[in-house]
Structure 1
Amino acid sequence: MVEAQTQNNKEILRAKNISKVYNEGKISTQVLHDLNVSINEGERVAIVGTSGSGKSTLLHLLGGLDTPTKGEVWLKGELLNTMDETQRGEMRNQHLGFIYQFHHLLAEFSAIENVAMPLLMRPTVNIDDAKQQAVELLKKVGLGHRLEHRPGELSGGERQRVAIARALVTKPALVLADEPTGNLDYENAQSVFELLAELQTSFGMGLLMVTHDPNLAKMAHRQLVLKSGQWAQ
């Protein structure tokens, strides 16, 4: 058993010298090279870079969705590398929220049911409590009038608001957002990001987002530029 790392009490996540290599037959492709990064409570960090620079791969490693070839990823003082998939899944559900470019809502379920789903993965939460928390959060994102609507009955901006509510319903320490406004027009993108930033401040969580939008990146506390799998100087 690896002991928890001593950390800054405001630090949520830390990656130390992480690299990622993909092997296909005799061909090896190194996507990330010895990266270090940390995220603190309440901090908003943007990762920017051209397509193919490794941004999404990095986000997957930081979120425990994949493991680095080399290096360490620490979440809330626990080393993710040594955990099996079940343990990493529990850590994700307890501490992380995810938002993607495409909402990934389940088409057959209502807005309430989609938002409540992460809570229902916790054995201590019953369905009535989960739905009540989902209703409260949907109201916060301006969808109190769309509670029973399915994704197909919602606009693109509304679907992304449901996705934001789903990411926040577990009250995560950190939200990882991969191009959260990339599938929206300019007006909807601005509205959705302003909502996300407002909720981040209100909840006191960290936000790490990948974006190609320089206007959104400027609204972060820090910008990290990834170039060919390395931080640009």
Structure 2
Amino acid sequence: MSAILEATNISKIYDEGAVRTQVLTGLDLSVRPGERIAIVGTSGSGKSTLLHLLGGLDTPTSGEVWLHGKCLNHMNETERGLMRNQHLGFVYQFHHLLAEFTAIENVAMPLLMRPKVSTADARNQAIEILENVGLGHRLEHRPGELSGGERQRVAIARALVTKPSLILADEPTGNLDYDNAQSVFAMLSELQNTMQTALLMVTHDRNLAALADRQLLLRNGKWEQY
């Protein structure tokens, strides 16, 4: 089965004046359809940096990232943006919802970036997935009117509304209490299985990581034995 995403020999160095910081060193990674992978690491281990590189939000200092057989390194920002919109969904620890828009409007936004999707179709698809995450009664509420768990459900709905082949999740339950975290992850996993979408998440929580098919340990920018 062909990989959705392939990363080869990924390194990232930040130069700030005379200070040179090596964040990632020679990482390889492959993600296959429907697979669920957890990258575990403490704060500062480089896991969020890696996720940004894999999602085409940044470019590696060396190495290559391939998404559906196309190298993100060789694309300009517009081309990478199109690849993200077509194939990837993002979920963050802090939901990054737009405060002035309703749940429907926040979820519909990735679809509205596609030239052939009408506002009515985007709205209908947003309503459908919000109902799937248990928020059919909160469609017209803005983020400030929702609980933390509800806001994260809206963020997950936004990530899934485009039916991506891969979800990239950065501490997706890290800002929630235990009960909400378990509930949100269970819902994310169920939707991911239903849609046959791969999931790559970074977390410091080994209990959460244990629910994945595969666990990888990132320490000081390198893979280590889990």
Q: TM-score range by the shorter chain?
A: over 0.9
SS for the counterpart of 1:219 is coil
- Of 82, 92, 95, the match for 1:103: 95
- Of 123, 134, 142, the match for 1:150: 142
Aligned to 1:43: 35
- Of 115, 119, 122, the match for 1:127: 119
Distance in 1 between the 2:27 and 2:161 partners?
30
Query: Aligned residues, how many?
Result: 225
Please tell me whether residue 80 in structure 1 is matched to residue 72 in structure 2. yes
SS for the counterpart of 2:4 is strand
Distance in 1 between the 2:142 and 2:86 partners?
26
Paired AA for residue 33 in structure 2: E
User: What are the residue-to-residue correspondences of 1:3-22 with 2, within 5 Å?
Assistant: 8-9=1-2, 11-22=3-14
After superposition, the C-alpha distances for 1:177-231 in whole angstroms (9 at most, x for unaligned) are 0000000000000000000000000000100001111111000000000010000
Distance in 1 between the 2:151 and 2:214 partners?
28
Displacement of 1:117 after TM fit? 0.2
- Of 129, 132, 136, the match for 2:128: 136
Aligned to 1:5: none
Q: Aligned residues: percent identity?
A: 74
The list of structure 1 runs, each at least 4 consecutive aligned residues, that deviate by more than 3 angstroms after superposition, is: none
Aligned to 1:4: none
Paired AA for residue 91 in structure 2: I
Aligned to 2:211: 219
Distance in 1 between the 2:196 and 2:12 partners?
31
Displacement of 1:159 after TM fit? 0.3
Aligned to 1:33: 25
Paired AA for residue 7 in structure 2: A
Aligned to 2:52: 60
Distance in 2 between the 1:96 and 1:103 partners?
16
Paired AA for residue 180 in structure 2: N
Unaligned runs of 5+ in 1: 1-7
Displacement of 1:49 after TM fit? 0.9
Paired AA for residue 36 in structure 1: D
What is the TM-score of this pair, normalised by structure 1?
A: 0.96
SS for the counterpart of 2:181 is helix
Distance in 2 between the 1:50 and 1:106 partners?
29
After superposition, the C-alpha distances for 1:8-44 in whole angstroms (9 at most, x for unaligned) are 43x1000000100000112211100000001000000
Distance in 1 between the 2:88 and 2:157 partners?
13
What is the TM-score of this pair, normalised by structure 2?
A: 0.99
